[in-house]
């Protein structure tokens, strides 16, 4: 049994990851301010190896006492996504960067950090090339800039791993429908229409279950992976927005795809990503886009819950 501190553990990724850690008999402490969903961890309160504290991790004194006895620290607390970070730049900088400085100020050399950032730091990639971990970093959103700055801070600590995540999809205990795949399936299912602008922008994707599995893999193989950055995505899911829309239409045939050439994407990322580095270490994402689309359709068929997204 290892001791974990997870900040932002009630969120989209956090609620799934924390559940897996608890189920693997680790001792898990979560700090979260619960801005979006107050029920996402309700299924865990019955476990003796789970502790929760409703705290704002942007305040240094709130996290000091929770750091000192932990084997692993997983900082998930963040403002996520380009639109939200543009609207709340000061808060994004405080949450995404300064709160990590608090952690680094109090962490000990032997303690381990696994940090999920974004591959949006690559900005706009070359047309016929894949971005790998040695590619130039050129974030074009405030979100991307804060996460790349945070990654530099984290990697100063030798016992650290940074995962540059592809765009995540799939269901979680704290559901989001603003993420691109989830949003497209939601719109196709309920409105039978997908409006695309900048349709040829490219992205890589990954199912949330694969993220959880990658974290579990990195915990078991930490010494083999530490002091390094890894792209984390599904290699078969490097596709354009239009290709994604057509894939969803196969599952929801009523969907009409409408192309708009007079609108711009607020998130300007456009690239394909290589995940070979982590795959060579022994982890490969396997949950397909088709699997995720079917999963989301089944959820939308039976669930009428109101989802509070990040913006």
Q: Give 3-169+204-232's CATH code, choosing from 3.90.400.10, 3.40.50.720, 3.40.50.300, 3.50.50.60.
A: 3.40.50.720
Q: What are phi and psi of 60, to 5 degrees?
A: -55, -45
- In which band, very low, low, confident or very high, does the pLDDT at 114 lie, cut at 50, 70 and 90? very high
Q: Is 284 exposed, middle or buried (0-12, 13-18, 19+ CB in 10 A)?
A: middle
Rounded mean pLDDT, 161-179: 96
* pLDDT at residue 304 in the model: 72
pLDDT digits 0-9 by tens, 46-55: 999 999 999 9
Positive/negative CA dihedral, 145, 149, 154, 155: positive
Q: Contact 171/140 with Cβ under 8 angstroms?
A: no
Q: 196-233: string of b/e by CB count within 10 Å (b at 16+)?
A: bebbebbbbbbbbbbbbbbbbbbbeebeebbeebbbbb
* pLDDT at residue 38 in the model: 93
Q: What are phi and psi of 141, to 5 degrees?
A: -125, 155
* pLDDT at residue 308 in the model: 66
Tokens of 232: 């984390």
* pLDDT at residue 306 in the model: 64
Is residue 266 predicted with pLDDT exceeding 80? no
* pLDDT at residue 151 in the model: 96
| Domain coordinates in residue numbering, the chain | 3-169+204-232
* pLDDT at residue 157 in the model: 96
Q: In the Cβ-directed half-sphere of 141, how many Cα atoms lie within 13 Å?
A: 27
């Amino acid at each position: 049994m290892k001791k974990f501190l997870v900040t932002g553990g009630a969120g989209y990724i956090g609620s799934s990851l924390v559940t897996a850690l608890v189920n693997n008999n680790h001792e898990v402490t979560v700090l979260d301010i619960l801005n979006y969903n107050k029920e996402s961890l309700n299924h865990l309160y019955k476990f003796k190896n789970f502790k929760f504290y409703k705290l704002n991790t942007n305040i240094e004194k709130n996290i000091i006492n929770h750091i000192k006895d932990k084997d692993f620290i997983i900082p998930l607390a963040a403002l996520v996504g380009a639109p939200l970070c543009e609207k709340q730049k000061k808060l994004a900088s405080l949450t995404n960067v300064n709160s990590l400085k608090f952690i680094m100020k109090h962490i000990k050399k032997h303690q381990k950090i696994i940090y999920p950032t974004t591959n949006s730091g690559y900005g706009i990639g070359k047309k016929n090339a894949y971005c790998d971990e040695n590619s130039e970093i050129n974030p074009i959103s405030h979100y991307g800039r804060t996460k790349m700055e945070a990654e530099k801070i984290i990697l100063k600590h030798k016992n650290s791993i940074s995962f540059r995540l592809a765009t995540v999809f799939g269901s979680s205990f704290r559901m989001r429908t603003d993420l691109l795949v989830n949003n497209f399936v939601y719109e196709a299912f309920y409105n039978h229409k997908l409006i695309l602008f900048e349709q040829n922008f490219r992205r890589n994707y990954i199912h949330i279950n694969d993220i959880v599995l990658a974290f579990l893999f990195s915990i078991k193989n930490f010494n083999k992976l530490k002091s390094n950055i890894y792209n984390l995505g599904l290699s078969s899911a490097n596709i354009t927005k239009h290709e994604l829309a057509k894939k969803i239409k196969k599952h929801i045939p009523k969907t009409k795809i409408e192309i708009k050439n007079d609108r711009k994407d607020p998130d300007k990322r456009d690239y394909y990503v290589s995940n070979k580095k982590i795959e060579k270490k022994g982890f490969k994402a396997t949950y397909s886009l088709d699997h995720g689309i079917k999963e989301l359709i089944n959820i939308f068929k039976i669930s009428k819950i109101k989802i509070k997204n990040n913006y």
